[in-house]
Amino acid sequence: MQTHEAQATKTSAAPGHETQPWAFTHLAPAPEALRKILARHRKEEGSLIPVLQEVQRRYGYISREHMAYIARELRRPLSEVFGVASFYAQFYLAPRGKNMIRVCLGTACHVRGGQKILDAFSRTLGIQPGSTTPDKEFSLERVACLGACGLAPVAMINAETHGRLTPEKVEALLASYRAASGAAAPVPPERNGQGADAAR
Ligand code: FES
């Protein structure tokens, strides 16, 4: 977290902002990159979603401080900014791992064992869908369709599509990504405190 953001003071509602437990009234000036994004869109009608998209592209996710800056600069209620950011699946409100894994549970993948593939990723990584490994190497999420139904069951890791997966292939696949990034082997779920019991 950048220093100027850390200086923001938690307080109650600011004028023009709804009460939120994390509303900020004493925000330091926004980081330069964020100021430029806001300046580009400030006068646009319907600028909130484009701003959120640009902030996510720049920072990888949208933090609470980002939302507070956006609300202040666009003169929108903080609750509205949070509501939009949390409504759309395209927005991430927490940092993601270096490698994004999307496992398809759409109809074609579901009937061909997509849940078993998701379980295999979850078990091997020791995390539940929607979370990130402690070493920040992998984030795991389920999606509805990846547009490669003929290859079901399918998962994407970053921009690469992997089709006709089996649970046995998942471990080897993850090992190859870890080897490519020089990351350590995964911590067994029973030792990292995030057991994937529910996924077994
Ligand atoms: S249902 Fe899985 S890729 Fe379409």
Q: Report the topology of domain 3-87.
A: Arc Repressor Mutant, subunit A (1.10.10)
Best probe residue, ligand 1, of 112, 116, 145 (max atoms within 8 Å of C-beta): 145
Q: Find all residues with CB under 8 Å of 34, minimum gap 6, and list them.
A: 55, 58, 66, 69
pLDDT at 180 (0 to 100) = 85
146 lines ligand 1 (CB under 6 A): yes
What's residue 16's pLDDT? Answer: 40
Q: Which helix or strand (DSSP H or E) is residue 150 part of?
A: none
CATH of 99-199, picked from 3.40.630.30, 3.40.30.10, 3.40.50.1000, 3.40.50.1220, is 3.40.30.10
Best residue for ligand 1 mutational test, from 102, 103, 104 (most atoms within 8 Å of Cβ): 104
Where exactly are the structural domains of the chain?
A: 3-87, 99-199
Global pTM exceeds 0.85: no
78 versus 44: the higher-pLDDT residue is 78
Tally of CA atoms within 13 A in the half-sphere of 64 that contains its CB:
11
Confirm or reject: Cβ of 100 under 6 Å from ligand 1.
no
Shared fold status for 3-87 and 99-199:
no
For the segment 116-140, what is each residue's pLDDT rounded down to a tens digit? 999 999 999 999 998 899 998 999 9
CA–CA dist 141, 159 (Å, integer): 14
pLDDT: which is higher, 1 or 93:
93
> 89: Cβ–Cβ under 8 A, 6 or more apart, which residues?
none
